[in-house]
Amino acid sequence: MFEVGSFRSHDCHGVSRRALLKFGAALPLVSASGDLSAAEPAAAAGAARSVILLWLWGGPSHLDTFDPKPDAPQEIRGPFSTLSTRTPGLRVTELFPRLAARSDRFSIIRSHRNHTSVHRVAGSIALSGGKGAAGNSDYGPTVGSIVQRHRGGDGALPQFVSITPGPLKTALGSVEGSGGGRWGRAYDPVSVRCSDTGAVDIPSLRLLEGLQLERLADRRLLLGLLDRTTALANDAKSAAWSDSFARAYRLLTSVEGRRVFDLTRERPEVRGRYGSSVFGQGCLLARRLVEAEVPFVQVNWSQYVENIYGTRTDFGWDTHWLNFEHMADRHGPILDRAVSALLDDLADRGLLEQTLVVAIGEFGRTPKISGNAGRDHWPAVYSSLWAGGGVIPGQVLGQSDERAYAPVTEPITPEMVVTTILQQAGVDTESRAELRVFEEGRVIDGLVS
């Protein structure tokens, strides 16, 4: 379902041409730049038709998720026990009983390393595969933007969707490597908000105040007449805006677009399996999008919320405070339920082998528990989950030391993560060379077939 926004643009004659131009300029999936034509490389025959990136923003603790250390001292291992899984040698936190029972559907990497402990920089590096330092704004396009440009397409549905409660930011700044970067805003994702009840809102495509969906066709007719009878029709900016409006119109009014974004079409028992959480319902929407052949879907865990220390407000995985309370009450159960339901749903529908699912954050958290009963930033080693899309399941790749401070096997870098995702999504070596991205990138050894 679509919510109607409050884009204030009325005058005494209704919606003005200026307001409509302003509306078109606000759309992130289209741009007035003349060099962003549809003449992009077609998708190669990769193992994954689509990618779902479960972005665990804030940095999950590897010890409290997929790399527990039950033999470490109490101040490191924490209060949680561990569970055995179907994968030899893999134990996970006791908070993941559903995932433990499904470990034959995914593989775990335990030797990731990022280059910094600053959220916004580490997030930019992780999503773009760059090597930027603090203050460097040129991280290049994000992995989803690269897939989007490679695939091209001019259908009703966007090529890159970010299901997110809000922008990826911290009190110190925003993640810069989360969109098109130097390629421009036309390659930014279409941002979608999904509530814990499954209500879907697309902020960039909110209808103008008072302009209902059923009246949009008449407005479009009027705009067509205006384009043909005004001098603006021959203006380059007006032509670009008209194209922008047409693409937005297709998404808003197409049968496919309205069907895919309407979670009420799902049976209650299916929605219930994902859980009544923003992340869970976002995972369900991600499944619907890849079922409709959207190439790249990113599900962001949480929006950063300022000044909430000492409360139980959900502020992502940045658990300097209340790490174990959040893990036990929210994060663990929500992740376990949503990801398990997603893997089951994809498998039941015959979509798992052609959908690459990756769950990862920007870094891990300190092995030693802090004086605040939490864990702080730790980029030296962290973990991730990979499934479908050519991934060899039932494996544990990489290893951290006995107290989870550092990898004892070769570190897996963000560049390797992004290269592997691209390769599996059909952006092969030749295609990356044409796009001038990750030309020397390495695929993670032993992860994919």
The average pLDDT across 199-219 equals 67
CATH code of the domain containing 317 = 3.40.720
Task: Break the chain down into helix, strand, coil percent, rounded to 5.
Answer: 35, 15, 50
Q: Is residue 338 part of a domain?
A: yes
Q: Is residue 369 part of a domain?
A: yes
The pLDDT assigned to 160 comes to: 94
Phi, psi of 83 (to 5 degrees): -120, 140
Q: Is residue 9 part of a domain?
A: no
Of 401 and 169, the structure prediction assigns the larger pLDDT to: 401
The average pLDDT across 41-69 equals 86
Number of structural domains, the chain?
A: 1
Of 306 and 364, the structure prediction assigns the larger pLDDT to: 364
Q: Tell me, rounded to whole angstroms, the distance of Cα 398 from its chain centroid.
A: 24
Q: Is residue 194 part of a domain?
A: yes
User: Residue 402 to residues 61, 71, 81, 85: CA-CA distances in angstroms?
Assistant: 15, 8, 16, 20
pLDDT digits (tens, 9 = 90+) for 245-288: 655 666 767 778 888 999 999 999 999 999 999 999 999 999 99
Look at residue 106 and give its three-state secondary structure: strand
Q: Is residue 239 part of a domain?
A: no
In which domain, by residue range, is 394 found? 31-202+261-435
pLDDT digits (tens, 9 = 90+) for 83-137: 999 999 999 999 999 999 999 999 999 999 999 999 989 999 999 998 754 445 5
* pTM greater than the 0.85 cutoff: no
**Mean pLDDT taken over the chain:** 82
Q: Is residue 211 part of a domain?
A: no
Angle, to 10 degrees, between the axis of helix 17-25 and the axis of helix 236-253?
70
CA distance 251 to 257: 5
Q: Is residue 128 part of a domain?
A: yes
Confidence class for position 22, pLDDT limits 50, 70, 90: very low
pLDDT digits (tens, 9 = 90+) for 378-389: 999 999 999 999
